[in-house]
Chains A and B, each alone.
Chain A
Amino acid sequence: MREKIAKLYSIEQLSTNNTCIHLLRPGAKLLTTLVFIICVISLPKYSVYRIMPFMFYPAILIPLSETPIMLVIKRLALALPFCIMAGLSSIISVREIAYYIAGFGVSYGLLNFTAIILRALLCVSALLILIATTPFCEIAGVLHALRLPSLFVMALELTYRYISVIFGEAHNMFLSYTLRNKLKPNIELKHMGAFIGQLFLRSYNRAERVYSAMLLRGYGKPQRRDAKMNFSINSGIYAVLVSALCVIFSVIKY
């Protein structure tokens, strides 16, 4: 259970690094990620070659931000199954030949499959680059600045923090259960309802105490504006340049 918590927070721990990408403003990074993803998904469904220029984005930013490539591949593996299923159905249903390569007929279905996989790769890596270079609290700060309802942003921040509370309680409860249940490795189905209910109530009690402590320490009161929310020329140039390139490559037909 502790490994799962470590895995969850592992990618956010990367956001404390000090590369040039980490120093960019969170708003600029969020904007470029959004523009990048919108441009990728707006490409025609059979055009594999028009996706190629977009591969430069992760190819340049992953080494620049020192994000481990294996982490990206592992997270990509979670997102792929549904895309592969959708792509395979295209191969089966669309068999019209688009062109021939060395005598081998390439169908529109195969092109669609390849395009879907590449889109998934690009969208997932763009998101991972964002979260590996931007702490979650800064993303929440951008949402505050965008005037999203404060209740919603507060719920988002607290949910993220309370995940470790839940996992911590679950670990302790599971340990107690196995020690009292002849060291059986799993929770029996007849005890599952009580276990989950007890987990919820204990976590709720602990969360109330944590929230009260946070309120006493000033949480929720208007904070002094973080310097990272201010505009910077580097971030502005980065956002404009990357967004413009994405739009150009998505609009130009070649």
Chain B
Amino acid sequence: MHMTDALLSPTVGTAFCALSVGAVALTSAKIKRDDLQTENVPLMAVAGAFVFAAQMINFAIPLTGSSGHIAGGALLTSLIGGGPAFLTIAAVLIIQALMFADGGIIALGCNVFNIGVLPCLIICPIVYKLILNKSFSKARLLLSSIIASTISLAFGALFVTLQTSLSGVASLPFKEFAMLMVPIHVAIGILEGIITAAVLFFVYSMRPELLNRTTTQRKPRQKRTVIISLAVIALLVASVLSPFASILPDGLEWSIEKLTGGAEIIPAAIMGGTAIQESIAAMPGYDNGAGLSAAGLIGSFAVFIIAGGTGLIISRYKSIKRKSAAE
């Protein structure tokens, strides 16, 4: 599943390099902040060497006539956690690119994203959290390993197809290429999940503390992280996605149009009010001439300030009341 330089354009390669470098920097900072360095480094390194060796072993996929090898993202995430697993996979991919020319140097960004970011930072932590946090058992471990590996490899293969198509170097039709790549990688993922579970069963029976601290640990979610994440999502939706909003009438307008032939019904009694509203509105129709994105951003900020300000005033009033009641 390794992308190669020959099929990549500089734009796509550079974009994914930037994403991967950013992910490496953020993950390293997070590990440093959580003070996990000292105990993790030898474990990360030996796990990386282990995955490197495992990736050299191909196994036949029944009924397909092809072979595959494990990617190792699910195994590493369950052993050492998502962040350290990602850094380890990135290190393994760099060594493979340099020592074996398996995947190129510009394609490293794509490979780190497909085999590192997607499984270790996104898919496997979510799957393990959903299945293993409630209770820990061998059946749940097997199920979570298979699901995590399969989804990781399927999405990795899909992104390889996407990157190849976006680069436009090879004339590979996206749909047909995806229909070839994804099913075979789903089959590889299922086998990888079984192998991962077998290894984890053994490790759990010998050193349960290695698994328990990563797969079952609940970390308290920081309020600041949640607020920042929601703010970023709101800004992205307002600025980037809003221009793509459908121009078709909404449900009410569609119903009115079907019944009356017009999009809106404005009774004579409130027509004067409508005129006043339109004259004082800053962005009538969600467009102040600067575009829908600008309207979305301005509106989001306005709502944040008004709602946040209201909440702040209420909490201040309540704390003053509590203080005076205590006195």
Q: Which of A40, A159, A211 is close to B95, meaning CB atoms less than 8 Å apart?
A: A159
Please pick, from A79, A128, A151, A193, the residue contacting B201 in the complex, using a CB distance under 8 A. A193
Question: Could you tell me the dominant secondary structure of chain A's interface residues?
Answer: helix
Interface residues of B in 1-32 (CB under 8 A from A): 2, 4-10, 13, 24-25, 28-29, 31-32
In the complex, the answer to whether A86 meets B45 with C-beta atoms within 8 Å is: no
Instruction: Identify which of B35-43, B259-267, B297-305 touches chain A.
Output: B35-43
A209 to chain B, nearest CB (A): 9
A121 CB → nearest B CB, Å: 8
Interfacial residues of chain A within 7-66, with CB under 8 A of chain B in the complex: 8, 11-12, 33-34, 37-38, 40-42, 45
By the criterion CB–CB under 8 Å, are B88 and A90 in contact?
A: no
Chain B 35-67 interface mask (CB, 8 Å, partner A; 1/0): 001000111111111101110100000000000
Docked complex: A126-172 residues within 8 A CB-CB of B: 127-128, 130-131, 136, 139, 148-149, 151-152, 154-156, 158-163, 165-167, 170
Smallest Cβ distance from A82 to chain B, in angstroms?
A: 6
- Which residue of the partner chain B has the closest CB to A128? B101
Is the pair B4, A120 in contact by a Cβ cutoff of 8 Å?
yes
Interface residues on A, range: 35 or more
Q: Which of A37, A45, A93, A155 contacts B104 (CB 8 A)?
A: A37
- Answer whether A159 and B45 are a contact pair too, CB < 8 Å, given A116-B170, A119-B5, A123-B104: yes
Check A231 for interface membership: any CB of B closer than 8 A: no
Which size bracket describes the interface of B in this complex? Answer: 35 or more
How many Å lie between the Cα of A149 and that of B32 in the bound state? 10
User: How far, in angstroms, from A94 to B13 measured CA to CA in the complex?
Assistant: 24
Judge whether A204 is part of the interface by a CB distance below 8 angstroms.
Answer: yes
Distance in Å from the Cβ of B98 to the closest Cβ of chain A?
5
Segment at the interface with B among A97-105, A195-203, A222-230, A241-249: A195-203
Contact with A along B246-279 (1 / 0, CB 8 A): 0000000000000000000000000000000000
Q: How far is the CA of A208 from the CA of B95 in the complex (A)?
A: 21
Chain B residues within CB distance 8 Å of chain A: 2, 4-10, 13, 24-25, 28-29, 31-32, 37, 41-50, 52-54, 56, 79, 87-88, 90-92, 94-95, 97-102, 104-106, 164, 168-173, 177, 195, 198-203, 206-207
